[in-house]
Structure 1
């Protein structure tokens, strides 16, 4: 009886966690699109809805603590709950980065823009949102090998960020009126790079859930863009 109750609650917890992950992926995509489209209204909508991510994190954390106290799970059951407990706080930090991007969109001062850099930022946003969706899919499938492949995606994201950085710096040198916009591009690329790093953090917890091993999937990539 206790086992059946535990399994049902764990399934509910799993669903809540994956739903939160998909919400975060959508929010990241929307925040970057708002920035690229100079859509302040879209950015404000992201800020208005930010509480939903925070509330989901708080509810999931509370549930994990209750389940540990009530059922005192061991081995694989405990690893699954610990993985959710750790990964849900990472998802919340991703949501914070999406909120930062939305704030940048509202604050943006530059009247001149660099179209090809904004296009690259849009591509980074799409890539990182897909990375978040993919890592949640690997979680659902309990796919440790798939989770490890996120590290390669993150290196590809790092290269895109480095290109944004060099193009933005070049733009500043060529035209002083681009300084405000280029500074924002650097900041947004930094936020996106950080979200990429967070996806590898979740991937590490998926490997832990599957194998019990703590691994490092992001060695040396945690520098600013």
Structure 2
């Protein structure tokens, strides 16, 4: 029985990692579509979200079955709970990627501001790296690295504030940019939220190692 459980747990880890790669790709492609005004790529992100949602449902179902049928010991149960909670955060990150993709479709044809779009692309690069790093930290169960990754969220928050301020100034300067700048602020908000969810996953990695729920970023507005 123990061998079967270990195999199922390993499979669960693989499924979570695969889901994480799908989400990371969705975040990257959504911003790429937005900056490049690529409607087709945006539609692809929206369509692919169904696969991400399906992965989350599958992980949750398998997790509950393992708890009910295998009656795992405390350390294994902590592992399963971590996967369930972290996969929920991944699913929400995918939802924000979809929101960015929808902004791409909505903003097409409006007056654009290249400087702000460059800031959004730079912010997205930081967020994408955070997603990649947290998935690696999860695989390696590296609590210290998770703590370090969570600190990068402050950089994401600062980038969002810069984008927000520039959007306000641009709208005041040129009313023609109001619609586009509003979407810039929304996209910045979505990326900022992805950063928060990465921090949530960092907290679950720390929980996995310490059995303690630790708030790593007091600026996070999302509760786990």
Give yes or no for TM over 0.5: yes
The equivalent residue for 2:165 is 166
Shift of 1:75: 1.8
* TM-score, with length taken from structure 1: 0.96
Compared CA separation, residues 186 and 110, structure 1 to 2 (3 A): farther
The equivalent residue for 1:79 is 78
Instruction: Give the distance between the partners of 2:23 and 2:212, measured in 1 at CA.
Output: 26
Q: 1:53, 1:95 within 8 Å by CA — same for their partners in 2?
A: yes
Q: Which runs of 4+ in 1 moved over 6 A?
A: none
- SS of 1:91's partner is helix
The equivalent residue for 1:6 is 5
Instruction: Give the distance between the partners of 2:154 and 2:219, measured in 1 at CA.
Output: 10
The equivalent residue for 1:58 is 57
Shift of 1:111: 2.6
Task: Give the number of equivalent residue pairs.
Answer: 222
Q: Does 1:144 align with 2:143?
A: yes
Shift of 1:114: 1.1
Shift of 1:130: 1.2
Consecutive unaligned residues of structure 1, counting only runs of 5 or more, are none
5 Å-filtered alignment, 1:4-43, equals 4-43=3-42
Shift of 1:109: 5.1
Q: 2:37, 2:108 within 8 Å by CA — same for their partners in 1?
A: no
The equivalent residue for 1:185 is 184
Instruction: Give the distance between the partners of 1:94 and 1:74, measured in 2 at CA.
Output: 30
Q: 2:35, 2:117 within 8 Å by CA — same for their partners in 1?
A: yes
Q: Does 1:46 align with 2:45?
A: yes
Q: 2:151, 2:217 within 8 Å by CA — same for their partners in 1?
A: no
The equivalent residue for 1:68 is 67
Shift of 1:101: 0.5
The equivalent residue for 1:99 is 98
Q: 1:200, 1:217 within 8 Å by CA — same for their partners in 2?
A: yes
Q: 1:110, 1:180 within 8 Å by CA — same for their partners in 2?
A: no
Q: 2:146, 2:205 within 8 Å by CA — same for their partners in 1?
A: yes
- SS of 1:101's partner is helix
- SS of 2:152's partner is helix
Instruction: Give the distance between the partners of 1:69 and 1:149, measured in 2 at CA.
Output: 35
Shift of 1:110: 5.3
Shift of 1:125: 1.3
Provide Cα deviations, 1:48-87, integer angstroms capped at 9, x if missing partner.
1110000000111000001001111122111100000111
The equivalent residue for 1:118 is 117
Q: 1:110, 1:181 within 8 Å by CA — same for their partners in 2?
A: no
